[in-house]
Structure 1
């Protein structure tokens, strides 16, 4: 570990120029005293580190010195797909490896390209989790990620809607969607049904619902034709078709038109794309896919007085009944 830290310290000085001991300590997540010892070790090994005193002082490399020790390790190269996503990298236990990989890449770039890369880093940031929602607890994420990489069978205890289950899984991939982590896996030993493909035997598991995970020594053969991105796109379309059980016909106000994408996501955006012309008050008619009726009533009531459900008749009646119950309840409470 110390060798990795010394290299990181050297690359920090090369990439950023003069840095103080507290700055280096914060970057390397060590004490200032450790930085002093590491700088002495670099100097003893022949690296020309200069210490400058005073308010503008700190450590810097001798002018013109550049290390060529910038080769990426296998783990560092593997972590580069998470550049720009420090939160997911931290969740996967790859934050330190990714930081070192970025330092090495920056050190290998010509000066002008390195400056441009630094500007991009300073100006763009990816924040994956959704607003106003705490991240799911995912204590087994790093272990599952290693099993995915090493193609090792997992023994799991999983909480489903219908109860708990124990499964042996072939972990094929991990997906981060809207701040929620999912495992894409195939049940160990399961064979696809007649007339189906290997992909159709794959299932999706929400990582926060794992109660226990044990990585075994047993390895599995990853299906050669399996495509994680393709599977996820198809599974997302299937989930949407299952969830949306009918289409609501709505009349919505200008304010509700702004709320639809926020409250209903892509379905709300698509509804607006096919909206009819506005009436004199600026209201438009839209068709919005909705979930099961009990869920749809609650979702549509979130629009309040900014929307009117025109149909289907059963859905309109259900919303009207809910509004009547609410009006009665608050009338009593107000007396």
Structure 2
């Protein structure tokens, strides 16, 4: 008999986990998962990167990407397809341009002539727009068959001053709103969009009036766009006077003056283009030149209305 305290007896009754694991029938089927190392600090952490090791992440070699791009560039079918698409686009563009009327094609190709200005022309034209009352010759001294470069004739219309004045008007409007604590960045886009939309509406209505009344004149559509864009110079002058004085009376006086000066300028310039006979030898009648006079007055009188409408919301009464 062995006692319970016998070392031999204790060794026989002691349970060894390794022995039990070796005696069962599922040895080798279960293995303890190894501890995965945490991703480095520079790596992007995600549940997948926490469970899988960094060695299991697959990356595309750089040389493989370069070889794929080279294969695409050397593909003859792809090159033929790109060339066919380019030729088709050129053919469609050429046909579209050929389908346009000759007058429209001539106008599109002559837009660049309206930007042919220099510093002397800009200074003279701005002074002429603001102070047009002194006697002078208002006719264009060069050929009227095509657009005259403005730098060679101050009386020629241009696009540089209207474009720059529109941009300056938007900035001055934002400055006026800023002094009133009403400025937001969206206001610049709203004023620019409003100016563009009203210009399109104005030119569209005038062109429609020319068409309905069947009036043939020397005034081209591109010239009409330039003359209608000169009103922004007066708008800048009116807003600048209000910005400097914050006086409603000064603003109204400036608005009245720039409206009169612009109307006088347009009458002197447009009467030579809309009214071909100004000598008085030809009588105006309801079926002829009377309609030209009414149209000229409509163009002249609508400009002060636009000046007032596009600046009134900026003035605090």
In the superposition, the TM-score normalised over structure 1's length comes to 0.23
- Higher fraction of helix: 2
**Bigger relative contact order, structure 1 or 2 (CA pairs below 8 A, ≥6 apart):** 2
- Higher fraction of strand: 1
In the superposition, the TM-score normalised over structure 2's length comes to 0.24
